[in-house]
Amino acid sequence: MVEIQGNMPPDPQKAEAEKDAAIKKSLDKIKNKIIVMSGKGGVGKTSTSVNLSIALANAGHKVGIMDVDLHGPDVPRILGIEGMPELNSNHKLSPIKYSENLSAISIESFTPGKDDAIIWRGPLKYAAIRQFIGDVDWGELDFFVIDSPPGTGDEPLTVAQMISDAKAIIVTTPQEVALADVRKSINFCKTVKMDIFGLIENMSGLSCPHCGEMIDLFGSGGGERTARETGIRFLGRIPFDPNVVACGDSGACYQEAHTSSAVTKTFVSVAEAVSKLLQ
């Protein structure tokens, strides 16, 4: 008789069941899950995700932000956080702390070069998002904000299937070309039976730095009109402010640097609405 030495390979079904259990255990500690979506790129979705998370954290809530925009992960840069998540005593990854109430996880924190391309197909994306939930020690959270890539592809579909109680916040700019794609996001949510919490109109007007007159760079009111026509809660208009761009590029906190700005006030207002309606 031949004696077989060494460890037997793990049972794939058992390993998958253990991963499912870890995901459930992690999600059970999180009260509210919000996925921030957009129908198209370039509407300021990630800056909205980050600033909403900061506003919620500043209001005293425990917040985690998960960056599942795997091909364009910008959350660490906008937050100004660096380094790689460390393994804790529970053999889980600790999300990178931005503040006492806010922590984040992103694929960018694991790439050797910040300009390295993530060239993945669906199964690898699915596995990464599972790990971001099940292998990360998020702890007890009031809000879990998920920054999704534009469109209705693998990442938002994976989140919808994995986090059945997630609610969507859809970000758009006022012009029709963006609103046409937003309607696709709305239909996506209906198809996968995901509740839509509300819609935000971003880059809604620019205050002239010389005379103070409002300039509608991308039109005005399109997001609010779409929300009204589709029966979705309208969460507010966020004006265009060049300082948001400057702070995002430098990793500085816009809300700390511009506490009295219209943008900060709008994010505080949206965070209050989210807190009241979801708590």
pLDDT score of 1 more than 60: no
Q: Closest by alpha carbon to 34, among 58, 50, 19, 20?
A: 50
Q: Could you tell me whether strands 234-240 and 214-215 are parallel, antiparallel, or unpaired per DSSP bridges?
A: unpaired
Q: What fold, for 24-278?
A: Rossmann fold (3.40.50)
For 123-158, the DSSP string reads HHHHHHHHHHHHSB---SEEEEEEEPPSSSSHHHHH
Residue 214 binned pLDDT confidence (cut-offs 50, 70, 90): confident
Torsion sign over Cα 278, 127, 135, 40: negative
Q: At what angle do helices 262-278 and 45-58 cross, to 10 degrees?
A: 70
Lowest average pLDDT, out of 16-25, 57-66, 202-211, 250-259, goes to 202-211
- Indicate the SS3 state at residue 278: helix
Q: Provide the pLDDT for residue 3.
A: 46
- Indicate the SS3 state at residue 277: helix
Distance, in Å, from the CA atom of 126 to the CA atom of 120, rounded to the nearest integer, reads 10
Mean local confidence (pLDDT), 2-31: 78
Phi, psi of 179 (to 5 degrees): -65, -35
Mean local confidence (pLDDT), 30-59: 94
Taking the CA atoms of residue 84, residue 89, residue 94 and residue 99 in that order, the dihedral angle to the nearest 10 degrees is: -110
Q: Are 137 and 99 in contact (CB under 8 A)?
A: no
At 131, which amino acid appears?
Q
Where helices occur in the chain by DSSP H, the ranges are: 12-28, 45-58, 75-79, 122-134, 154-162, 176-191, 222-230, 242-250, 254-257, 262-278
What percent of the chain has pLDDT above 70? 95
- Indicate the SS3 state at residue 237: strand
Query: Is this prediction's pTM over 0.85?
Result: yes
Q: Copy the structure tokens of residue 92.
A: 């889980």
Q: CB within 8 A of 56, min separation 6: which ones? A: 63, 142, 143, 145, 271, 274, 275
Q: Are 67 and 154 in contact (CB under 8 A)?
A: no
Distance, in Å, from the CA atom of 188 to the CA atom of 57, rounded to the nearest integer, reads 29
pLDDT score of 10 more than 80: no
Q: Could you tell me whether strands 63-67 and 30-38 are parallel, antiparallel, or unpaired per DSSP bridges?
A: unpaired
Stronger pLDDT, 25 or 213, i.e. the higher one: 25
Distance, in Å, from the CA atom of 45 to the CA atom of 125, rounded to the nearest integer, reads 20
Q: Provide the pLDDT for residue 8.
A: 53
Q: Provide the pLDDT for residue 40.
A: 83
